Structure 1
Amino acid sequence: MKHAINILNSEPENYSEDAKKILRSFANLHEEPVDRDQLLKLLPSFEILIVRLGIKIDKDIIDAGHRLQYIVTATTGLDHIDVTYAETKNIKVLSLKGEKEFLKEIRATAELTVGLALALIRNIPAAVESVQTGIWDRDLFKGSELYKKTIGIIGIGRLGKIVAGYCKSFGMKVIGYDPFEIIDSAIATQTASLSELLSSADIISIHVAYDNTTHNLLNYDEFDKIKPGAFLINTSRGGIINEDALLHALETKRIAGAALDVLQGEPAIHEDNKLILYSRQHNNLIITPHIGGNTCESFVKTEVFMANQLRENLIKDGVMDENTGNHSC
C-alpha cells in the first residue's frame, strides 16, 4: 500500500523556488506561515515539518505531530528544537550540523561578523542616525581601525577559520582558542587558554556551538579577564554570553562595546529586554535580529541542500522508493 508524504513548511516566506521544486517532486508541499497555536493545530496532518528559527519546536509541538517523522531545518545550531525529545519519539532532525564540506561555501555569518566589527569600532549606526536628524559633524564619531589590531577568535571551526582569513586581509593579528583543535599557525596563533585570549585581544569574536558546555561561556569572571577597552562580537548563540555580565561590563566600561546578532531566548525578544533598553541610550551596543545567515545566496544553497538531504533520508529509511518516488506505509 502506498500513500503520499505531506510536508508542512511553517516559515515559507522567500523560500527557495529550486528547493520547493525538489520537495514537490516527491511529496505534497503545504506552505503556510504560522504562529505557535496554528502550528499545534496543523501539525497532526503532516509527516515532515520544515522550520527556520521563528518558533521553538518543543515537547508540546512535537507531541502534536502524531504522524511526524522528520523535522528539517537549514541551520547549524539546533537550540530552537528539542532534539533529545524528538529522538525519543523516533523523529529525525535533519540539519546542516556537521556538513563541513558543504558549509565551506556558506559564508554569510562570517561576512556579517566583520561587518559588525566595522560598524562597532567606526560608530557607523550612530553616524547614520545623526545625519538623518540633520547633524553633519564627523568629530562626533571618531573611531578605530582594524589594521594591526589583534582579533581573538573563540572557536576555530568553519566560521572561525573564515573570519580569520577575512581579518588577515585587513592586516590584523589573529589569535585563536579552541580546546578541541590544534590550530594551523597559518590561520591563527593558538592561545593556551581562553583567559590568555581574553586578555590579549582588541576584538573578541565568538564562533562556538551552543550546548551545555558553552552556556554562559563568558560569565562575570571571564569579563574581568578581558583586555580593558576591547570590543566583543557574537554571531553564534545568545546563551554563550551571560547577558547580565555583558551589561555590567558595558556599564562599567570594562569593554568598549559589543555587537550582537543573537540574544538569549530569541525569537521571543521584547522591547523591555535589558540589552535592548541599554542600546537605545548608548552607541556602543549594536544588536541585529539574527541575520547572520540571512542572505539570498545562503538561503538558496542551504534550502536546496536540505531538500536533497530529506529526499536521500526518505530513500535510505525505506519511506520512499528511489526510482519511482512512491511512498511506503
Structure 2
Amino acid sequence: MRALLLENVHQDAATILRTAGIEVETVDRALDHQALIAALDGVQLLGIRSKTEVTEAVFDEAPDLLAIGAFCIGTNQVDLAAARERGVAVFNAPFSNTRSVVELALAEIIALTRRLIPKNTGMHAGVWDKSAEAAHEVRGRRLGIVGYGNIGAQLSVLAEALGMSVYFYDTADKLALGNARRCGSLDELLAVADVVTLHVDGRAGNSGMFGAEQFARMRPGSLFLNLSRGFVVDHGALRAQVESGHLAGAAVDVFPHEPAGRGDEFRSELRDLPNVILTPHIAGSTEEAQQDIGRYVAGKLRDYQFDGGTAMSVNLPYLSLPPRPGGHRIAHLHRNVPGVLAKINSLLAEHKVNIDGQLLDTRGDYGYVLTDIGVDYPAAVLDSLAAMPETVRVRLLG
C-alpha cells in the first residue's frame, strides 16, 4: 500500500499512515498534470492541498488510486464526479482551520481600520506620523459577512464580542447567531456595511461574483476582505476602487493564479497599493490548524483503506461500520438502482458465504454497502460481485 502526500502536508499525516503500515512519499510542492500522472503509478492514497488539480484525465491514468485526501477546506481542485464514477473516495477538512481563518480576518479588519499598514511602511522609511486621521476603532462599525458557513458564523460571534454590528448574506437559509442580522440580498448588505468580507465556497457559480458593480455599491470609505476563493473577485476592479479612494483599504489572501511553491514569483494587480494587505493563501495556515488537518484527513484515508469507512466523504455515501476482528469485509460501490442489495446477498448465498454484519447507504446515483463475512470464502465470490453490471468498485478488506 502506497501513499503520496504533496504540498507540504503536515508531517503528522505521514506518521499516521506509516504507523498503519502504509509506505509514504512526501513532496513539498504541487505537481502539474504530467508529473502527477507519473507520480501516481502504483499509488493508492493521494494527499493534496489547494494547488494540485486532479482531473478526469489524471483518474484515467491512475487506476490504482482508491482515495484522495484534500488537506484543506475546498475540493474544487478535484473532479468529484470523475472520482465517484471510478470508485475513488474524496475527503477534506471542513472544520479544522476555521478558527485560524477567523483570527486572520479579525486581525486584518483591525489593522485596516487603524491604518497600521501605511503607518508601518512610513516608520520603516523613517517617517514619524502620529496623526489619528482616518484611524478608527472597530467597535460600533458594521461588518458585512458574505457566506455564513462555519467560518462566517464563527467570525460573526467574535466580531460581535468586539462590539461590531454584524450583518450577513447567504443564499442558503442560515440561523443568525447572537444579534447578527440577515440581509435579504447582497445589495442590501453592501449598502449598510463598513467592512465587507467574503467567505463563500468554491462552487463554479461563485466565479466572478464580486466585480465593479458590487464594489460601486459599497459605502465610500469602506473596507473589503477576501479570504475565500481567488476567482470570485475581479482584482482589476478592486485596484481601481482602492486607487480612486472609494475603498479605504483591502485584504486579500487568495488569488486567481497562485505560484506553485514557496519562493516562486508572485504576480498580481494588487501589488504596491496603500493600506492593502496581501497574504500568500495562509488564512488557514497556522501550525495548530495544519496539524489538526493532517491528523484528521490522514485518519480518514487510513479508515477508508482498512475499514471502508466513508464518514464525511465529499463524494460517496456516508458509512461507518465498526471493525469486526477475525473476518473480512467487502466494500461495494454501485449504481443506486433497485435490487442491488438483494443481488449482492443472493450471490453471497450462492457461494455459501454467511453475512456477519452489513450496512448500506445511498447518495444520489450511487450506493455503498459494507458486508462483514467470515475468514473462509471462495475467491469466485469477488469476481461475481465485480461482474455485476451495477458495480463501480468492489474491494476485500481485512
The one-letter amino acid paired with 1:8 is: L
Per-residue CA distance 1:93-148 (angstroms, 9 max, x = gap): 21124xxxxx2784100101111112222222332233223333333875222010
Q: Deviations over 1:194-229 (max 9, x none)?
A: 111001000011111121222222122222211121
Residue in 1 aligned with 2:293? 302
Whether contact under 8 Å (1:315, 1:322) holds in the other structure is: no
Determine which structure has the larger strand proportion and give its number. 2
Partner Cα distance (1:255, 1:324) in 2: 66
Q: Are residue 8 (structure 1) and residue 7 (structure 2) matched? A: no
User: Which of 160, 166, 170 does residue 168 from structure 1 map onto?
Assistant: 160
Structure with greater helix percent? 1
Equivalent AA in structure 2 for residue 87 of structure 1: R
Does 1:292 pair with 2:283? yes
Q: Give the structure 2 partner of residue 258 of structure 1.
A: 250
Matched, 1:71 2:68: yes
1:215 aligns with 2:212: no
Gaps of 5+ in 2: 311-322, 329-394
Q: Percent identity?
A: 26
Shift, 1:38, TM fit: 4.1
Alpha-carbon distance in structure 2 between the residues aligned to 1:322 and 1:288: 48
CA separation of 1:207 and 1:271: change in aligned 2, threshold 3 A: closer
User: 1:114 touches 1:167 (CA, 8 Å); kept in 2?
Assistant: yes
More contact order relative to length (CA 8 Å, sep ≥ 6): 1
Unaligned stretches of 5+ in structure 1? 98-102
Q: Deviations over 1:30-49 (max 9, x none)?
A: 22335435433222121111
User: What's the TM-score once normalised by structure 2's chain length?
Assistant: 0.71
Q: Which amino acid aligns with 1:80?
A: Q
Residues 143-172 of structure 1 show CA distances to partners (whole Å, capped at 9, x for unaligned) of: 222010000111111111111111112111
- Cα 1:80–1:141 change in 2 (3 A) is farther
Equivalent residue letter for 2:204: N
Separation of aligned partners in 1, 2:151 and 2:256 = 20
Is the 2:259–2:265 contact (alpha carbons within 8 Å) kept by the matching residues of 1? no
1:51 to 40, 48, 53: 48
Which of 173, 179, 183 is the aligned partner of 1:181?
A: 173
Distance in 1 of aligned mates of 2:138 and 2:106: 10
Structure with the greater alpha carbon radius of gyration: 2
Tell me the alpha carbon deviations over residues 265-307 of structure 1, each in whole angstroms, 9 at most, x when there is no partner: 334585442223xxx1x21321101101101111111111112
Equivalent pair of 2:140/2:164 in contact (CA under 8 Å): yes
CA distance in 1, matches of 2:57, 2:233: 28
> Take 2:327 and 2:221, find their aligned partners in 1: how far apart are those partners?
59
Q: Which one-letter code corresponds to 1:44 in the other structure? A: D
Distance verdict in 2 for CA 1:178–1:322, change over 3 Å: same
After superposition, residues 15-30 of structure 1 pair within 5 angstroms as: 15-17=10-12, 19-26=13-20, 27-30=22-25
CA distance in 2, matches of 1:289, 1:259: 11
Q: TM-score, normalised by structure 1?
A: 0.85
- Contact conserved, 1:156 with 1:181, CA < 8 A, in 2? no
Q: Residue 143 of structure 2 contacts residue 195 of structure 2 at CA under 8 Å; is this kept in 1?
A: yes
Q: Aligned partners of 1:322 and 1:8: how far apart in 2?
A: 28
- Does residue 200 of the first structure (1) align with residue 192 of the second (2)? yes
**Distance between the aligned counterparts of 2:209 and 2:130, measured in 1?**
37
Q: Contact between 1:161 and 1:187, CA under 8 Å: does it hold in 2?
A: no
Q: Residue 81 in 1 paired to residue 75 in 2?
A: no
The one-letter amino acid paired with 1:47 is: Q
Letter in 2 for 1:255: L
Correspondence for 1:129: 121
- 2:151 paired residue number: 159
Answering whether residue 106 of structure 2 is matched by residue 114 of structure 1, we say: yes
The one-letter code matched in structure 2 to 1:28 is E
Alpha-carbon distance between aligned partners in 1 of 2:244 and 2:134, rounded to the nearest angstrom: 21
